[in-house]
Structure formats: structure tokens, C-alpha cells
Amino acid sequence: MRDILTTLNDEAGITGSMVITPDGIMVSAALGPELEEDAMAAFASSLLLSLKRALTSLRVPGSVKACTLNASKAKIMFLDMQNSYLVLVSETHKALDADAPAVVSAVQKITRRRIA
């Protein structure tokens, strides 16, 4: 799976990507050298679980399908892949697009593996 993520990073021109389970456990990651894997996994997990709790408390039906966080120095996007989430990290000026060919291809390859 790390090869799929590395290819995604190269093709989409993003800083890093990772796959986490719905309960926030990291399955695999391909992050740039400036991103600490454990810290990024903890942050992504915490953010995803907080989003889910907030939606539940607001009585918003359904689950998190996609979410983009725009911070001052980075963007983070979560994409639901049914049994896991794809997390993309990019620089602030880079457009993150869930429908980009590299992202669609990576999601298809990961979901076909049925590991995540």
C-alpha cells in the first residue's frame, strides 16, 4: 500500500498521504521528510474522531465522506473509502481535488486490495 501512496504523492504533487481506519488507526503512510509519521497519524486520528463526534452531537445524519482543513501552512483532506480513510497533505497553495485522476486511481487500487 505504501507504493500506491508514494505514487499518489508523486502524481498529485502532494506532500504526503496516509490511510487510517474509521477509528483512527494508521494502516499505511507515505509522508514527506518534514512530516513526522506518528504525530501526523495522531493528529489525523484526533481530527477525524472529533469530526464524527461533532456530527453526531449536531444530529447530522450520515458520516464524514470528505473534509478539507485549510491551515496557514498546509491543507489536509480526508476521503471516505468505506472501510478506511485516505488522508492527503499538501501545501496551502496546492489545490486538493478528490476527483483528480491520481486520487481516483489510488482510491481504486487501495479499495481493491481490501487490506484497509
Residue 114: pLDDT band (50, 70, 90) is low
Which of 81, 95, 75 shows the shortest CA–CA distance to 28?
Answer: 81
pTM (2 d.p.) = 0.88
What pLDDT, on the 0 to 100 scale, is given for residue 52? 83
pLDDT surpasses 60 at 10:
yes
Tens of pLDDT, residue by residue over 42-78, are: 988 898 888 888 888 898 877 778 889 998 988 999 9
DSSP of 17-80: EEEE-TTS-EEEEEE-TTS-HHHHHHHHHHHHHHHHHHHHHTT--S---EEEEE-SS-EEEEEE
Which has the closest alpha carbon to 68: 55, 87, 82? 87
Residue 116 pLDDT level (bands cut at 50, 70, 90): very low
* Contact indicator for 87, 78 with CB cutoff of 8 Å: yes
Strands 16-20 and 85-90: antiparallel
Architecture of domain 2-113: 2-Layer Sandwich (3.30)
Q: What residues does 42 pair with on adjacent strands?
A: none
- Domain edges within the chain: 2-113
Locus of grid cell 476521503: 79
Asked whether the predicted pLDDT for residue 99 surpasses 70, the reply is yes
**How far is 21 from 72, CA to CA, in rounded Å?**
26
CB 75 within 8 A of CB 69: yes
